[in-house]
Amino acid sequence: MAIDNLLPFRRRGVDDFEQRVGPHVDGLYRLAHRLTGDRHDAEDLVQELLLRLFDRRRKLREIADLRPWLARSLYNLYIDTLRAHRRTPFANLDGEGETRLESLPDTDNAEYDDLDSSLQAALDRLNENHRSLILFHDVEGYTLPELSQILAQPIGTLKSRLHRARARLRELLREESVEPFSPDRRVNR
């Protein structure tokens, strides 16, 4: 900090963190819930993300398209959290190879039926890459170009993986003798 290099004093502009990020919080929560499978874990994940983003709010002003950028930040934080959990000595107490900790949505919810349970169970049996891809694309509606930013993968690669992920999901549903999606048994709401 030599005196000759001092920057001219600039007044801090109005902090627009809440205006910029606020509209995305609900979407981030949805994504976090899809990834964690639990409301409280999802809220904790989003809260932690917002705290970290607040420290980087100057950087946020430079981001033209916040939605995929925020989704990528959330996903990276989720993966870090998942890895940290796996490193803990208690990570495998539930048993090797068992489904990740998931809590199904409230069964009193009239919207949630057996087919949803089967579908959720099949999703939870996918490997993390396939599961995330389907959650982002098919469940939450992120486009392949957006996913290319979020997951830092070429669109062609993601497309192939998405097709494999869907094929694996169909296979898992068939393994469980769940054929809810044939035309005869489709549920129209």
Partner 1 sequence: MHCTEAQNLLDDHLDGLLDQPRDDALAAHLENCTACRHELAARKALITRLRRLPLEAPTAGFAARALHQARQKHAQRIRGFVTGFGSAVAAGVVLWVAVGFWHPAAERSTPPVQAITLQVKQPSTVNLAFNVPGQDRYDRVRFRILLPPGVSLANHPGEREIAWEDRLEPGRNLLSLPLVAEQGTTGELVAQIEVQGVKKTFRIPVRAGAQGAWRGPVTPATPV
Instruction: State how far the Cα of 32 lies from the Cα of 43, in Å rounded to an integer.
Output: 8
The two structure tokens encoding residue 104: 């199904």
Q: Is residue 67 close enough to count as binding partner 1 by CB under 8 A?
A: no
Q: Minimum CB separation from partner 1 for residue 93, in Å?
A: 25
CA-CA-CA-CA torsion sign (174, 177, 178, 181):
positive
The two structure tokens encoding residue 136: 């982002």
Instruction: State how far the Cα of 35 lies from the Cα of 123, in Å rounded to an integer.
Output: 11
Q: Minimum CB separation from partner 1 for residue 74, in Å?
A: 12
Q: Is residue 153 close enough to count as binding partner 1 by CB under 8 A?
A: no
CB-CB contact of 91 with 85 (8 Å): yes
In the complex, which residues of this chain contact partner 1 (CB under 8 A)? 1-4, 6-10, 12, 17-18, 21-22, 25-26, 29-30, 33-34, 39, 42-43, 46-47, 50-51, 53-55, 58, 105-106, 109, 111-112, 115-116, 119-120, 134, 138-139, 141, 144, 159, 162-163, 166, 169-170, 173, 180-183, 186-187, 189
